[in-house]
Structure 1
Amino acid sequence: MAAASFAPAGAARAQDAAPADSAPSAGSAETAAQIAALKTQVEALQAQLAALSAKVGKVEPSWKGAPSWAGNDGWSFKPKGVIQFDAGYVSLPRKIAGLVPVSGTSAGTGVNTNNLGWNTRARRLIVGMEGSMPAGFAYKFELELSQGGVNYEDMIISYQRPGSPWSLTLGHQYPLSSLELMTSNRFTSFMERGGAVDAFNYGRRVGATLAYTDPASLWGLAAGVYSEDVANGNVARTGWQASVRGYASPKLGDFQTHVGFQFQHRVSPTDQQNIRYRQRPYSQVSNERFIDTGALAAKGDDILGGEIAFVYRSLHFASEYQHVWVRGLDADHGFGTNNAPGTTNFLAGDPQFRTGYVELGYFLTGETRGYKTGRWDRTKVLRPITDGGWGAFQVNGRFDFTDLNDRVAPGLVLAGNDITYVNGGTSKAYEASLIWLPMDYVKFMLQYAHVDISGGPSARAFSGFATALPSGYRHGYGVDSVTLRTQLDF
C-alpha cells in the first residue's frame, strides 16, 4: 500500500523536470537576447572611451621647470619665463687727461656722472609660452616687462616636418649672428654678451629663417631675411637685413668642438640713413656709453664674424671676432623725396670697426657646460641642494675689446662737412665671474670688470686739428664695476 500510494507523486515529479537538451521557454530566450544586446552596447562604449582617451591624451602635467601639458595629437603647452635682478656699482673714470671734460650730459661734453655709482635694475622680466602643434608646427610667444614697459622677445611660428633636418622659423626673432647671441641669456657665463651685441646694435627683427641641421649633430647651416623690430611704430619700415650662419661641431672623444661663421648685410631705413655704434661698460646697471661714434650717415653695413669654442669635461673655451664695414654717405650724396640721413655727420670715407673676446671657464664641482646644435645650452647640476649637495660652482675669465676708431680719409680731422676720423673710442675689458647654480633653473652670478678706455665721446669736443691726431683724441682712463645677478627661469 505504501509503495502504491507514493508512485503517482514520483511520476508527477519526473514529468515536471524538463530534460537537459530540451528547448528553452520564450522568457528565457528574451532574457538571453537582452544580455547579448547589453554586452554589445558595453563593448561599443568601451571602444568609444578608448578612442576618446587616446584623443585627449595625458591630462596631468609633467614638470620641467614649469608644468607642461602634452597630448597624443601633437599639441603641447608650457608656460615659461625669466626673472633677472641686477645690483652693482660702476666707478667714476680715473686718470682722465686734464683737458678732457670729466662730466656732462651728452656726447661730446664728457661723461654723465649721474649714470654711475650704485644702482639696481630688473634686467629681464620675461613671461610667455611655447609648445608644439600637429604636423611639425611649433610656437613661442614672449613679452619682456622690465623698466615699466612692454618689449617683445621671441614671437615665432616654426615648422619642421617630423624626421626632416630642415626647419623654417617665421616671426620676431634674432637674425643669425654670433654664438653668444644665438645662446639664450639664461646660459651666458657673464652678465652681458660679447661687445659686438651691444656695440653693433643687435636686436630682434621680423623675418624668416631657413635652417638645415645635420641629423648626426655634426654641422648646421641657416640663412634668413629680416625687416625691422616689431616695436617700430614708423609706418615706413624700410630697413632690412640678410644673414647666413654656419657651424661644425664634431665631438672628438671627450672634446665637444665648435667652429662657426656668420655674415650679415644690413640696410638702413631710407628716412633715417644712419648708424650709431656704442657700448656700455659690460654691465647694464649703468646706461653710460664710454665709447660712442654718434650717428654716422650711412646706407648700411656688412659684418663678418668667426666663432671657435670647445668643451672638455669641466673646462670650456670660447672666442669670437667680428668686423664691420660701414657703407658711408658723404655730404654730396643726393637724397630722394622720402629719403634723409637723419644726421649731419657725413663721412669722407667708409670706416671699419672691430670687436672680439676670448673666454675660459671651469666648473669646480665637476659639471660640463651644456652645448647643443651650435649654441650653449643648460648645464645639468650634478649635486643640487635639493639632494643634499652644494649645487654647481663655475669660475670664468674673459678679455673683451671693441674698437670704434678709424681714419677714413687723409687731411684734417674735421674737414668741411665730411668727417675724416671717427673717434668712437676703444674699450678693453678684463672680466671675471663666479656662478653658483644651487639647482636647475636657479642662478646667482657675481662679476667684476675693469675697463680701459681710450678716446670716445668726451674727446669729440675737440675739432679742427691737423692730420696728426692730438693727445686728446687718445686720452685714456679706467672704469671698474662689480655686479650681482639673481636669476630664475622656468
Structure 2
Amino acid sequence: MIRHLSTGAALVALVAATPALAQPGPDRDELAELVRAQAAEIAALRQRVERLEAERTAAAAPQQGAPVLATREPAEPAPAAAGTQPYAPQLLPPGPAERDVERVRAAAVTASGVSTEWGQGLPVFHSADGVFSFKPRGRIIFDASTSFGSDHEGRNLTTTGMRALRMGLEGTVGTHFFYQFESDFSENEVDVVTAFMGWRNRIAPGLDYDVRVGHLFNDRGFEGSTGSDSTPFLERTVVATAIIPQRAFYGLGIMPRLFWKTGHASLTLTGDRIDGDQSTSDNRTVLARAHWNPIKSNRQVLHLGIWGFDEMLQPGKNTLTRNTVIGGRFNGALRLSTGTLIGGTGTTGYGVELGGYAGPLWLMAEAGERRARLDGGRADFVTRAWSVGGGWFLTGDLPPYNPRLGSFGQPKVLRPIFEGGPGAIELTARYESLEFDDILTPAQGWAATLGVNWYLNSFTRFQVNAIHWNTQNTAGAYAGKDDGETLSARVGVTF
C-alpha cells in the first residue's frame, strides 16, 4: 500500500510540475517509466534518511543527558561541544550530518522540497538542498512601573510602556553568508534596530571568525552586549547605560569577530545610527571587546572581560547632556542629570567584567569609566559606574550564559509549564552606583534591586523588580538629595 501511495504522490507531483498542459505530454509508456523512477528515488531517499539518523543517534548516545548549547544570536556557527551550556536555540547553521539529514528529509517530504520546523514559537524554513534557511523573528516586552516615596510628587508616577515591540527576519545562504533585520515599534514609530549582512568561516579547528556589515548592536560589556529580552533585570546596569558612546547602543559600520573555544574578541568601526542625515559628517566610534573563560565546564564558568571605545564628535553633534536611568526606565522624572552640556570633541570609555556561575548560582561584577573631552581647554567630563549582581535558580536550571559571546541569552528551561513542569524560577539581586564628576553640575546616585523571574518556557517570562534608589542632582527640576522606591513588572515573549 505504501508503494501505491508513493507512486500516486509522485504522479500528482509530476503532473503539477508540468508547466504547459496544452502542449502534448509524454505517452503512457514514458509516463509509467517516469513514475517508476520517481518511486525508486523516494525509496532510496527514505533509506538514506533512516541510515543517517541511525548513525547520528549512535554517535550522540554517549552524550545523552548533557546540555545542548545554542547561541542567542542566530547567525553564529554552533559552538564546540566541549563545555557547552544550555539555553534556548534559535536559527543555527547545522553541522554536516544534520544538514544531510535535513536535505534528504525535505526532498522526501514535500514536492517543493521545503521543510519546516518549529522551535522558538515560530517556524524555521529550510530549502531541500540545505543551502537556504529563513526564520521570522519577534519580540514583545510590556512593562508597568510605579514609583513612590520621593520628596517630589512629580517623581511619584505610575506608568506603562512597551520596552520592545519588534518584528524581523533572519536567514542564511550556504554555509558562510547570513543576514538579519529587525524593526521596533515600541514608541509608536518605526525604528530600524538590527540590520546587517555577514560572512563566517573557520580558520582552523576551534578557531572561527565572522564579519558583519550594517546597523550593529554594541559588543560592549556583559550587560551592554545582552539583548533587552535577555537581561536578568528589567533594566541594564548603569555601566551599560552610562559608559556608552553618544550614538548609544547601535551604529552603522563593520564588526569583525574572532571566536575560540574559551572566548572571543571583536573590533567595531561605526558612524552614527541610521538617521537619514547626510548633510554633515558622522561621528566616528572605534570599539573593541574580548572575553575569556579560563574555567569552563558543563556546570561551572569563570568569566573575564575587558572593553573600550574611542569616539570623535563632529561640530553640531557634540552635545554631552546626560539623563541616565537610575530607578526604572518608564519614569521620565527619575534620572541622574548633568544639565545642558555642549562643546564635546570626543569621548573615551573602558570597562572590565568579572563573574561566572556554579550550577544554578551566578554572579557578575562590572565597572567602567568614560571621559568626555570638552573644547575651550575645559577639564574632561568624567562618568564612573560600577555594579554587582547575581541570581539563583530555585528550580535547578542553569544560568543562560552564552560562552561564545560572553553575555546572557534565553534560558533552556528544564521543565516548561506547557509540558507540566513549574518552569524556571530565579531570584536576583543587584547594587549599582553612578557618578557624573568634573563638571559645574555634578550628580551621583545608587540603586539596590531585588527581583524574581519566572520563565514559563525558553522564550516566555514574567519579571518583577523592587528598587530602592537614591539620587543627588545639582541641575534640573529635582535638584538635591532624594530617595524612594520603584516597583516594576514585565511580561515578555521572544520568538
Compared with structure 1, are the counterparts of its residues 150 and 459 closer, same or farther at alpha carbon in structure 2 (3 Å cutoff)? closer
> Shift of residue 222 of structure 1?
0.9
Compared with structure 1, are the counterparts of its residues 486 and 40 closer, same or farther at alpha carbon in structure 2 (3 Å cutoff)? closer
Letter in 2 for 1:259: L
What are the ranges of 5 or more consecutive residues in structure 1 without an aligned counterpart? 1-33, 95-101, 103-112, 331-346, 407-420, 461-471
Compared with structure 1, are the counterparts of its residues 130 and 456 closer, same or farther at alpha carbon in structure 2 (3 Å cutoff)? farther
Which one of 201, 211, 215 corresponds to residue 172 of structure 1?
A: 215
Write the distance in 2 (CA, Å) between the matches of 1:390 and 1:73. Answer: 37
Write the distance in 2 (CA, Å) between the matches of 1:172 and 1:425. Answer: 33
Residue number in structure 2 paired with 1:326:
372
Residue number in structure 1 paired with 2:492:
487
Q: Is contact 1:175-1:226 (8 Å) kept?
A: no
Residue number in structure 2 paired with 1:159:
199
Residue number in structure 1 paired with 2:269:
225
Which one of 323, 337, 352 corresponds to residue 292 of structure 1?
A: 337
Which one of 62, 66, 75 corresponds to residue 132 of structure 2?
A: 75
Write the distance in 1 (CA, Å) between the matches of 2:130 and 2:420. Answer: 40
3-state secondary structure, aligned to 1:423: coil
Which one of 105, 116, 130 corresponds to residue 60 of structure 1?
A: 116
Which one of 110, 135, 140 corresponds to residue 180 of structure 2?
A: 140
Compared with structure 1, are the counterparts of its residues 219 and 354 closer, same or farther at alpha carbon in structure 2 (3 Å cutoff)? same
Q: Is contact 2:283-2:317 (8 Å) kept?
A: no
> Shift of residue 384 of structure 1?
1.5
Identity %: 20
> Shift of residue 93 of structure 1?
2.6
Write the distance in 1 (CA, Å) between the matches of 2:112 and 2:281. Answer: 44
Letter in 1 for 2:432: D
Letter in 1 for 2:453: I
Write the distance in 1 (CA, Å) between the matches of 2:344 and 2:477. Answer: 22
Residue 280 (structure 1) aligned with residue 296 (structure 2): no
How many residues are treated as equivalent by the alignment? Answer: 395
> Shift of residue 135 of structure 1?
4.0
Write the distance in 2 (CA, Å) between the matches of 1:38 and 1:131. Answer: 38
Residue 270 (structure 1) aligned with residue 315 (structure 2): yes
Q: Is contact 2:387-2:431 (8 Å) kept?
A: yes
Write the distance in 2 (CA, Å) between the matches of 1:315 and 1:41. Answer: 62
Write the distance in 2 (CA, Å) between the matches of 1:203 and 1:232. Answer: 18
Q: Is contact 1:263-1:303 (8 Å) kept?
A: yes
> Shift of residue 440 of structure 1?
2.1
Residue number in structure 2 paired with 1:316:
362
RMSD: 2.7
Compared with structure 1, are the counterparts of its residues 386 and 230 closer, same or farther at alpha carbon in structure 2 (3 Å cutoff)? same
CA deviation vs aligned residue, 1:256-288 (integer Å, no higher than 9, x gap): 111011110011122232322221233122112
Alignment of 1:80-159 (within 5 A): 80-91=137-148, 93-94=150-151, 114=154, 116-159=156-199
Write the distance in 2 (CA, Å) between the matches of 1:197 and 1:114. Answer: 27
CA deviation vs aligned residue, 1:171-220 (integer Å, no higher than 9, x gap): 11123311112112111111111113333452211010001000x2x021
> Shift of residue 304 of structure 1?
0.8
3-state secondary structure, aligned to 1:61: strand
3-state secondary structure, aligned to 1:318: strand
Residue 367 (structure 1) aligned with residue 367 (structure 2): no
Compared with structure 1, are the counterparts of its residues 56 and 169 closer, same or farther at alpha carbon in structure 2 (3 Å cutoff)? farther
Residue number in structure 1 paired with 2:418:
386
TM-score by length of 2: 0.74
> Shift of residue 305 of structure 1?
0.6
Write the distance in 2 (CA, Å) between the matches of 1:135 and 1:223. Answer: 23
Letter in 1 for 2:107: S
3-state secondary structure, aligned to 2:116: coil
Write the distance in 2 (CA, Å) between the matches of 1:193 and 1:208. Answer: 25
Write the distance in 2 (CA, Å) between the matches of 1:246 and 1:262. Answer: 6
Letter in 2 for 1:291: L
Q: Is contact 1:62-1:69 (8 Å) kept?
A: no
Residue number in structure 1 paired with 2:434:
402
CA deviation vs aligned residue, 1:414-456 (integer Å, no higher than 9, x gap): xxxxxxx432310111111110112221100010111111233
> Shift of residue 84 of structure 1?
0.8
Which one of 196, 199, 212 corresponds to residue 239 of structure 2?
A: 196
Write the distance in 2 (CA, Å) between the matches of 1:365 and 1:41. Answer: 58
Q: Is contact 1:315-1:360 (8 Å) kept?
A: yes
> Shift of residue 240 of structure 1?
1.3
> Shift of residue 60 of structure 1?
3.2
CA deviation vs aligned residue, 1:352-371 (integer Å, no higher than 9, x gap): 22111000110111111112
Q: Is contact 1:399-1:431 (8 Å) kept?
A: yes
Write the distance in 2 (CA, Å) between the matches of 1:40 and 1:301. Answer: 74
3-state secondary structure, aligned to 1:138: strand
> Shift of residue 489 of structure 1?
1.1
Residue 441 (structure 1) aligned with residue 487 (structure 2): no
Letter in 2 for 1:316: W
> Shift of residue 43 of structure 1?
6.3
What are the ranges of 5 or more consecutive residues in structure 2 without an aligned counterpart? 1-26, 46-103
Write the distance in 2 (CA, Å) between the matches of 1:150 and 1:242. Answer: 27
Write the distance in 2 (CA, Å) between the matches of 1:231 and 1:242. Answer: 19
Residue 186 (structure 1) aligned with residue 232 (structure 2): no
Write the distance in 2 (CA, Å) between the matches of 1:289 and 1:301. Answer: 25
Letter in 1 for 2:342: L
Q: Is contact 1:274-1:300 (8 Å) kept?
A: no
Write the distance in 2 (CA, Å) between the matches of 1:53 and 1:379. Answer: 33
> Shift of residue 129 of structure 1?
0.9
Compared with structure 1, are the counterparts of its residues 137 and 281 closer, same or farther at alpha carbon in structure 2 (3 Å cutoff)? same
